[in-house]
Amino acid sequence: MVFKKDKCPTCGRMNTIIPSNNKLVPDTCNYCVTSKLNYNNIEDADFFCRTLNYPFYPDKWMKISKMYKKDTFMEYISWVKSENPEDYESENQEIWKRINDEWDLSLTHDELISKLQPIKEDYLRRNRIKWGSEYSFEELINLENLFVNTLKANDISNPMQSDAIKKACKLSVALDRAIVSGSPKEINDLSSSYQKFIKTAQIDQIITESSRDVISNVSELVAYLEENNFEFKYYDGATRDVVDKSIKDIQQYLRRLVLDNTGLEAVFEQINDSYKKELEIKESSESFEKVPLEDLYQAGMDSQNSEIDEELEEEDINEDIFSDDEDDYFG
């Protein structure tokens, strides 16, 4: 399609005019469009097509934008008029923002790889010294990310543990290769080796010990809530569902069962007396166990020696009295 040059109804300049397919929107020049809209933005592209009433095909738009850059708007309209002269339509309008974010990431990645080739080569050189020369760029990135993140997540500083995790990372990448190649035997062998190595190196134990303070599943969450006596605000005593009603019915049944049974008082007293006797026996047993056998023996010997000493003292006193009496009698 050949675009004509004319005076722009919007800005008044002589420029290439993009025709409008919308009776309510006048034609506009390429300068006005490019100065207000970004050809690398999916939302802007959708707005452009919607405003001028042209169908929007994001895949085609992305391909044209890579080839024509700032002339994307004109080239896209030219393609639409030659292939699809219908009005605007788009069933995925709500996801353009998400697609645009992904597209930005893709463009950024491509630009970084192309512009920072020396950094990529230096990264390959350094990490192949660390991991080996048989790994690709993507595999080296996976190895480094897995290794570094595992060390950070589990706070590992022991060099032997670090070496074990490094070997586990290599096994993981080898397993990924086997999965891509689709070799069942190799996948099975590597999976078995990986599991055995993880167990032998006790890597799972390292991760478990470092994660004791981390709640990793629902059962651990429930256990934590119970230990800390947590109670949801929902449980305020009001009956809201069949569970609450069942709990209240059970409580009322037990209350009536206890209050209506006249013989329970004697039973409770008997249970209480038995409990007290068991408690006294237990306390007596505990106090007996706390005293060493040597101390008991020594206390017994001291008591016996004390009795013997008292008896000897009484005999000496009696002998002195008897001796004094004899002296008085025989003059």
Best-predicted range by mean pLDDT among 134-143, 213-222, 252-261, 308-317?
A: 134-143
The domain spans of the chain are 5-114, 117-210, 242-288, 291-331
Report helix angle 42-52 to 72-83, nearest 10: 50
Does the structure show a pLDDT above 70 at 7? yes
Which of the 8 DSSP states describes residue 19? P
Question: In the predicted model, what is the mean pLDDT of residues 308-330?
Answer: 59
pLDDT band per the 50, 70, 90 thresholds, residue 324: low
d(CA 94, CA 43): 10
d(CA 205, CA 191): 19
Please name the residues in contact with 227: beta carbons below 8 A apart, sequence gap of 6 or more: none
Nearest partner of 76 among 153, 18, 17, 145, judged by Cα? 18
Please tell me the total number of residues recorded for the chain in this structure: 331
Nearest partner of 47 among 17, 13, 73, 10, judged by Cα? 73
List the structure tokens of 248. 């209240």
Residue 144, Cβ neighbours under 10 Å: how many? 16
Beta bridge partners of 28: 18
Q: Burial letters for 183-217: b for 16+ Cβ neighbours within 10 Å, e otherwise?
A: eeeeeeebeeebeeebeebebeebeeeeeeeeeee
Question: In the predicted model, what is the mean pLDDT of residues 19-40?
Answer: 87
Question: In the predicted model, what is the mean pLDDT of residues 246-264?
Answer: 81
Question: In the predicted model, what is the mean pLDDT of residues 141-163?
Answer: 79
Entry pTM: 0.33
Alpha-carbon dihedral of residues 274, 277, 283, 284, nearest 10 degrees?
-150
